[in-house]
Structure 1
Amino acid sequence: MQRRDFLLASAAFLPFPVTLAQAQGNVLSATAGTPAPNVPWAKLAEVLGDRLAPVEWPLAKCLEQPDGEACRAFFGSVSNPYFLGDNPALTQTFGWVGAWSAQPSAYVVKAQSAQDVAAAVNFARSNGVRLAVKGGGHSYQGCSNSAHSLLIWTRAMQAITTHDAFIPEGSKAKPVEAVTIGAGAIWGDVYREVCVRAGRYVQGGGCLTVGVAGLVQSGGFGSFSKRYGLAASSLLQAEIVTADGLVRIVNENQEPELFFALKGGGGGTFGVITSLTLKTHVLPKTFGAVFAEIRANSDDAYSGLIERAVSFYSQSLFNPNWGEQLAFRPNNALAISMVFQDLEQAEAERVWAPFFGWVKENSDKYQLASDPVVLAVPATSFFDAEFLKTLPGVVETDSQPGASKERIFWASNREEAGQVIHAYQSTWLSEDLLGAGSKADLSRALFEASRHWSVSLHTNKALAGAPENVREAARNTAMNPAVADAFALLICAAEGPPAYPGVHGHEPDLEQANRDAARVDAAMNALRSRIATNGSYLAESNYFQTDWQKAFWGENIERLQKAKRKYDPENIFSVHHNVGEVD
C-alpha cells in the first residue's frame, strides 16, 4: 500500500484542532504538548501499584545519540509490528507529515481490569490530566498517543472466550453463538481462537495486529465484509468505562444510545471499552486469494484494460464471495489482490478464466508479470500460523526473543510498521457507477486519477453487493449510511519509511512528502471531476478532511453528538475528528 508534516513540540508544525470542550473551558488543562502541573501521581500509584509506571521513550536515545547502537537497534526493530505493539510509548504509525508525530505519555496505566481503567479515568478527570487510550495502536489520525498524557494501555486485557449460547444482559432475544474479547486483543489472536480452534468465523480486520476495540468503534472492515458485514454490526454487548468513572454494560436494551455510538462513532470518544462480545458466524468451507499483475504497453491499452476490469468486476466479482483490492498504477499496471470465501479453487479459477483469457488473447497490448496465483485453503487453515508459515512469503513472525510462534503478521503489512504518512484520502463509490450508463465514466475517472498516483478499489470496504441483511445491519450502525450503497472504498495514499524529526539520519523526507501529497491531491481531484463520490471511512481518511462530520457519519452525526453530550459533557475523551469537536 502507498499511504500527509509531523506535529512536534516546535513552531514548524501545526497545532491540534480546538475542540468544543476546549473552546468552552475544557477540564483538561493538559492539552497536547502541555503537561498538567503538580500532578499527584503517587496517589494513583497507591491504587494501582506497579500497574502505573512512567513511560520510557525509546526514541529519546535516538534524539540524544542518533548514531549510537541503541538507535540503530531501535530502527532495526520497527518493521516488526509486535515490537511496536508491545511498547506503551510506541504506535504502529510514527506520524503524518503536517499533522502529528508520535509523542510519549507521561505515565501509563497497564490496565488489567475495568476497575484499573476506572481508577485512571477518575484520576485524570479530577486532576486535569489529558487521557490517551491505546489498544493496538494503529490509528492513522494519531488518536492512540498524546504528549504528557496519562495513557490507558489495554494490551494486557486479552482474554478471549467463545460462547455457544450468548444472550446480552436484559435481553429477551434468542441465544446466539458469540465471542467475548478483551479490549487489548488483536485480530490475529481472535481469528486463531474463533476460526482455527472453535471452527467459527468472526468478522474483524484484515491486518492481524490491529486492535479489536478500535476497529469496532470505527465500524470495521475485514477482507470478507462483503459476506459478513461490518465488525460493528456483529457487536452484541460491550463493557465500557465512561467519563464519570462508571463501568457500564451496554447493548441494544441497556443504554442503547451509547451502544449505538460504539458501533462506528469513533474510538477514544465515548469512553474506554474494556471488553466486547461479537456474534460469530458459520465458518465457510474455504478461504482463498487471487494475485496477478497485468501491464499495458500504452495509455490507450491501459484505458481499455481498466474498462475491461471494471466490467469484469461488475459481472463476476460484485457479490458476497469476493473482496479486497484492484489497484490502478501510473506505470499502466493493474495489480489484483483479491480474496474469496466459500469457493473451491477450481470454482475461483473458472470465475477468472474469461478475464485472464482476454488478457492472453491480446498479448500485443498486455503482459502478465507472472502466472496468476489462485489458491484456496480450508477455512480452518487460513489463520493457522503453522500452516501459513509453510506458504513462501505470505507471513512473517515476531522476531523478539521468546516470542510465541503464533505471533504472525501478513508480510504485505511489513512496510506499514513505523510508517510516516505523506497523504491519505478515501471515498466511497456508489454502486450506481457499475450501471451500464456509468461504467465508462468510472473507468475514465480511474484512468485519469492513475496518471498522478496509484488508486485502489477496496471492494470489501463497502457493502453494495452484500446480502441485504448485511447492508441493513450496517444502516443500524453509526457509520455514514452511504457505506451500504457503495461498491468500493477508493483509497489514494502515500507513505514513507520509519522516520522521526530531529533524529539525524532518520528524519522524514519533507520534500518527498510534499511531492507525494500534491500527486495524491491531483489524483483525487481528477477522480472527483468525473464522478460523484460520497463520504469517507473514519479509520482510513484524510487528517485534513474539511467535511469530516458529514463524510464519516452522514445523518447520524446529530445522534452521536447527543450521546457525546450525555456521556462525556466535558470532553474528557478527546481525539482528532471526534464528534465533540468544532469544525
Structure 2
Amino acid sequence: MNRREWLKAALAIPFLSLATGGGVMSTLAASIAKTASGLRSRVRPGDPNWPSPAQWDGLKQQVGGRLLAPVSPFADRASAAYSEALKHIKNPFFIGDQPALTQTSGWAKAWTSQPSVYAVAAESTADVVAAVNFAREHHLRLVVKGGGHSYQGTSDSADSLLVWTRHMNKVTLHDNFVAQGCTDTQPPQPAVTVQAGAMWIDAYDAVTTHGGRYVQGGGCTTVGVAGLLQSGGFGSFSKNFGTASSNLIEAEIVTADGVARIANACTNPELFWGIKGGGGGSLGVVTRLTLRTHALPEFFGGAFGEIKASSDQAYRALIGKAMDFYQSALMNPHWGEQMAFGPDNQLHISMVSQGLSEQQATDIWAPFLDWVRARKEYSFPKPVQALALPAQHFWDADFFRQHLPGAMVDDDRQGAPRNHVLWSGDQGQVGWFIQAFQSAWLPASLLRADQQSRLADAIFAGSRHHRMEFHFNKGLAGAPTEAIARARDTAMNPQVLDAFALAIIADAGDPAYPGMPGPDLAAARSNAERVDAAMDALLQVAPGAGAYVSESDYFQRDWQTAFWGTNYPRLAAAKQTYDPHGLFFVHHGVGSEGWSADGFTRLT
C-alpha cells in the first residue's frame, strides 16, 4: 500500500466509526451474510445449468426476436468488419452502435472489452423485464449498457447476458410535469423524459436547440443519460444548475424481481434516492428518466488559452496566482470546466461560462491577464481569449459547422443524424486504453488566504510528475444554495457539496480492443507510477479526499468511503431491499464486496 492509500485508509477508520457508532462494517457484513442464503454462484457457458438452446429461443421470442449474439468487429483481422471498425475507431457513435464494444477498450491489469454471450437489444420496458427475469431464473451474470462509457468496465463482462438499451432513445418535453403520486406535494414544472439509451446530445438537441430550455447533463455529448445520472452526473454548467442526479424528478426502473417500478420522492423514495448518485447497474435497470428543465441563459461561452512560465519559480508563482484568481473571480455559478498544470510549466485554460456576454467574460479575466502580461517570465503559446454565443446554439451542430468549424466532430457515417456531433476535445477518449486514472475532491477550505500557499505548493509538486486537471464544475462550492440543497438529497459523497474542484490525474494509450495490437504495458506501468506520485503530492493537503465514482481509480481500496462517504450504509440498505440476492453486480458497486472480482462467485 503506498503512502496515499495508507493515509486514506487510516482516515477512514475513525470516520466510519463516528458515522455509525462503530458498527458500519459489522452491519454491512451481516447484510452480506443475510443475502448469502440465496444465489451462491452464477453459471457460464459450458456449465450444466447454462440455458439450453430452446430456453434461449424462448427468450428471443419474448423480446420480439431482438436477442443477439454479439461478435467484436476486431475478432478477425482479415474480415471486412475489422477494416470498417478501424476506419471508425475514433467515432464514438459507431462504437456505441456495436453491442460487442465499449467506449473504453480496457484498463491495464484491470479489464479488457469483451462481448457478452447474448444481448437483448431492448426497445421497451417489457424487453428489459424479460431479460432481468431470464437472468435471475437461470443464475446468469447480467450486464447493462446504454452509452457504454464506463471507464471501469461496468457495462462489460464476458460470459454474460447484456441488456442493451441503445435503441430506447426517445426524448419527450413536458410543460407541466408532476411525478406520479406527488400531486399534493409538488407543483407542475417544465421537464423532459429521456429513455435510458439516449445520449446527452439527443437530450440537448431536443431541450436546448429546439426547445429553448436547459437540462443539466454531461459535458461529453455521447455519454448515456442514464449512466451519467446514476453516478451523480456533472456537466459544464453544474456550478449553477447542480448535478444531473439532483435534477431527477422521476424514474422507471426494473428491479431484480422483474417489476418495473416508478421511483420518485413520493413512490419508492429510497430507490429514488439510491439511483441519484448511487452508481449505475447496482439497484436495477433504469428504463426512463424525467428531469427538470431550466430557463436558458442568454449566453454560453468560455475562456481558452495557455500561459507558459520560463522557470520553475515563475510557474509556482503562476499557480498561486491562478488559484487566488479562481477563488476571487471564478468560484461562482457563472464558471466551470478546467485549468490544467503539468511538467511543461504551462497553465492550460479551458473554462466555460453561462450567463455572461463576451465583454463581461473579458472584463472578468482582465486583472489576471494584466498581471501575467506585466511579467517578462510569462508568454502565451495560445492567447487567452473569452467568447460567448447565444446559449440556444451551444449544441447546434449546424451553427458550429457554419461559425466554428472544427470545434465539433460529426458522426461521419452515411445517413447519420445531423445533430450527432461531439466536441473535438473529447475524441481522444474514444476507444482509449486507460493506463491510470485517479480523482479527488478538493475542499474549498484550501482556497482560504491562509491555505492557498500550501495548495499551490502541492499543485506544483504534483505537476513535476504528471499533468493534473482541476475540473471546477465537478465540485459545488460556489454554487447557488438551491443547487447545493438538491445535491445534498442524493447518494453522492457529501464532500462534493464543499469541493471547489475535482482533481483528475490520468493517462491512456491508443485503442487496444482484443484482436487489435496489444497495449504498451511497460508504458502503462511507468505512467501509472507518475500518476500515483502526482496524486500523492496533491493529497498532502487533502488526505481525506473522496473520489468520483465515474472517474476514479479501478484499484481504489476504500471505494465505499471514497465514492459515498456516510451515505454508503443507506445505499447498502436499499440494495438489500431491492436486490437481496445480488442479481446486479458491477465492479466497486454497492454490495459488490460480497462477490468475487468477476461477479460470478459469492465470497460469504
TM-score interval w.r.t. the shorter chain?
Answer: over 0.9
Q: CA deviation at 1:41?
A: 0.6
What is the SS of the residue equivalent to 1:539?
coil
Q: CA deviation at 1:289?
A: 1.6
Aligned to 1:126, which of 114, 118, 137? Answer: 137
Q: CA deviation at 1:29?
A: 1.4
> In the alignment, does 2:257 pair up with 1:244?
yes
> In the alignment, does 2:70 pair up with 1:59?
no
In structure 1, C-alpha distance between the alignment counterparts of 2:252 and 2:469, rounded to whole Å: 36
8 A Cα contact 2:74 2:515, kept in partner: no
What is the SS of the residue equivalent to 1:50?
coil
What is the SS of the residue equivalent to 1:151?
strand
In structure 2, C-alpha distance between the alignment counterparts of 1:272 and 1:346, rounded to whole Å: 46
Matches within 5 A, 1:479-490: 479-490=492-503
> In the alignment, does 2:108 pair up with 1:102?
no
What is the SS of the residue equivalent to 1:91?
coil
Q: CA deviation at 1:57?
A: 1.9
Change (3 A) 1:180 1:525: same
8 A Cα contact 1:242 1:568, kept in partner: yes
Q: CA deviation at 1:468?
A: 1.1
Match of 2:602 in 1: none
Match of 1:169 in 2: 180
Aligned to 1:432, which of 436, 445, 458? Answer: 445
> In the alignment, does 2:87 pair up with 1:76?
yes
Which amino acid in the other structure matches residue 524 of structure 2?
A: A
Matches within 5 A, 1:224-243: 224-243=237-256
1:531-582 deviation per Cα after TM superposition (whole angstroms, max 9, x unaligned): 4442111100111011110111111111100010110011111000111122
Which amino acid in the other structure matches residue 190 of structure 2?
A: E
Q: CA deviation at 1:91?
A: 0.5
Match of 2:14 in 1: none
TM-score, length-scaled by structure 1: 0.93
Change (3 A) 1:374 1:476: same
In structure 1, C-alpha distance between the alignment counterparts of 2:482 and 2:257, rounded to whole Å: 36
How many residue pairs get matched?
Answer: 559
Q: CA deviation at 1:28?
A: 5.0
Matches within 5 A, 1:151-300: 151-171=162-182, 172=184, 173-300=186-313
Aligned to 2:62, which of 42, 47, 50? Answer: 47
Which amino acid in the other structure matches residue 426 of structure 1?
A: S
What is the SS of the residue equivalent to 2:550?
helix
Aligned to 1:114, which of 116, 121, 125? Answer: 125
Match of 1:378 in 2: 390
What is the SS of the residue equivalent to 2:554?
coil
Change (3 A) 1:374 1:254: same
In structure 2, C-alpha distance between the alignment counterparts of 1:541 and 1:404, rounded to whole Å: 33
Match of 1:316 in 2: 329
Match of 1:138 in 2: 149
Q: CA deviation at 1:51?
A: 1.2
Match of 2:344 in 1: 331
Q: CA deviation at 1:500?
A: 3.2
In structure 1, C-alpha distance between the alignment counterparts of 2:382 and 2:534, rounded to whole Å: 28
8 A Cα contact 1:108 1:152, kept in partner: yes
> In the alignment, does 2:365 pair up with 1:365?
no
Match of 2:359 in 1: 346
8 A Cα contact 1:166 1:176, kept in partner: yes
In structure 2, C-alpha distance between the alignment counterparts of 1:512 and 1:34, rounded to whole Å: 38
Which amino acid in the other structure matches residue 322 of structure 1?
A: W
> In the alignment, does 2:588 pair up with 1:577?
yes
1:441-492 deviation per Cα after TM superposition (whole angstroms, max 9, x unaligned): 1111000000000011100000010011111111100000110011000000
Identity over aligned residues, as a percent?
51
Q: CA deviation at 1:107?
A: 1.0
Which amino acid in the other structure matches residue 380 of structure 1?
A: Q
Q: CA deviation at 1:58?
A: 1.1
8 A Cα contact 1:430 1:533, kept in partner: no
What is the SS of the residue equivalent to 2:567?
helix
Q: CA deviation at 1:502?
A: 5.5
In structure 1, C-alpha distance between the alignment counterparts of 2:281 and 2:42, rounded to whole Å: 18
1:29-53 deviation per Cα after TM superposition (whole angstroms, max 9, x unaligned): 1379989624421110121232112
Q: CA deviation at 1:530?
A: 3.8
Change (3 A) 1:298 1:253: same
Q: CA deviation at 1:402?
A: 1.5
Q: Is the deviation greater in 492-501 or in 562-571?
A: 492-501
Structure 1 gap segments, 5+ residues each: 1-17
Q: CA deviation at 1:170?
A: 0.5
Q: CA deviation at 1:69?
A: 5.7
What is the SS of the residue equivalent to 2:389?
strand
Match of 1:461 in 2: 474
Structure 2 gap segments, 5+ residues each: 1-28, 595-604
In structure 2, C-alpha distance between the alignment counterparts of 1:309 and 1:341, rounded to whole Å: 20
Which amino acid in the other structure matches residue 482 of structure 2?
A: N
What is the SS of the residue equivalent to 2:593?
coil
What is the SS of the residue equivalent to 2:479?
coil
8 A Cα contact 1:289 1:376, kept in partner: yes
Matches within 5 A, 1:441-480: 441-480=454-493
8 A Cα contact 1:218 1:267, kept in partner: yes
1:354-383 deviation per Cα after TM superposition (whole angstroms, max 9, x unaligned): 111111111x21110122231100010111
Change (3 A) 1:501 1:118: closer
8 A Cα contact 1:32 1:146, kept in partner: no
1:156-207 deviation per Cα after TM superposition (whole angstroms, max 9, x unaligned): 1111111110000110211111001111100011001001111110000000
What is the SS of the residue equivalent to 1:309?
helix
What is the SS of the residue equivalent to 1:523?
helix
Which amino acid in the other structure matches residue 359 of structure 1?
A: V
8 A Cα contact 1:75 1:498, kept in partner: no
What is the SS of the residue equivalent to 2:592?
coil
Aligned to 2:505, which of 484, 492, 504? Answer: 492
Aligned to 1:414, which of 424, 427, 437? Answer: 427
> In the alignment, does 2:402 pair up with 1:387?
no
